[in-house]
Structure 1
Amino acid sequence: MLQLLRFLIDTIQPFLVPICFVCAWAFMSAIAWSLWTVVRDSVESSKRLHQIPCSHCQYFTGDYRLKCTVQPSIASTEVAIDCLDYQPKTNPLLY
């Protein structure tokens, strides 16, 4: 039994280094691809969230209890990007 095991180990040994090399690079490539995907998705999400105009609207209160006096249910969400009730602030000191 031990002789068979020794024979198998001696047979496989020349292939172990290339197999481990390829597996290690495949693992590193998978990590790099995963990090790239996370960064790409974060940038896309950030761009979409920066399109929300609520903070520059005259109806936006800034209070966490009532963020908007006209559309409180969609205030500061992605739904508010195309808000029909948006009116820019007329007083620049209120920013």
Structure 2
Amino acid sequence: MIEASLTNAFLVIGASLCPLLLMVLLIGFLWAVGTAVRQSIARLQRLHSIPCDQCVYFTGCHHLKCTVHPCKALTEDAVDCLDFEPALYSKSCCSSRCKPQ
């Protein structure tokens, strides 16, 4: 008799906590997805502000991307480059000079 009432009590508690726990997990998952999307948008906006392809020193060749700062070229370190000089014309990223022959 006592065992049956304890089993019924556990079933009632489990039946009421299970949907609540699932709701908390769903809210936590949606919160994490929203946070990841916001962080991704902020990072993409930062990456789109890299000015290398509009610089005079940008070569367009994958062997030597920049003649002044080859290690910083096309990275986040190049966002505030002190040597940035705007180019008068745009360069293609796949110039015929750097293709293997």
After TM superposition, the runs of 4+ consecutive aligned structure 1 residues lying more than 3 A away are 3-7
Cα distance in 2 for residues equivalent to 1:64 and 1:4: 77
Q: TM-score, normalised by structure 2?
A: 0.80
Cα distance in 2 for residues equivalent to 1:78 and 1:86: 14
The equivalent position to 2:53 in structure 1, one of 44, 47, 55, is 55
Instruction: Tell me which amino acid in the other structure corresponds to 2:8.
Output: D
Change (3 A) 1:71 1:9: same
Residue 72 of structure 2 corresponds to residue 74 of structure 1: yes
User: Counting helix residues as a fraction of each chain, which structure ranks higher?
Assistant: 1
Cα distance in 1 for residues equivalent to 2:2 and 2:42: 57
> What does the per-residue CA deviation read over 1:66-94, in whole Å, with 9 as the maximum and x for residues that have no partner?
000111121111111111111111125x3
**Structure 1, unaligned stretches of length 5 or more?**
none
In structure 2, the partner of 1:23 is 21
In structure 2, the partner of 1:64 is 62
Q: TM-score, normalised by structure 1?
A: 0.85
Equivalent pairs counted in the alignment come to 92
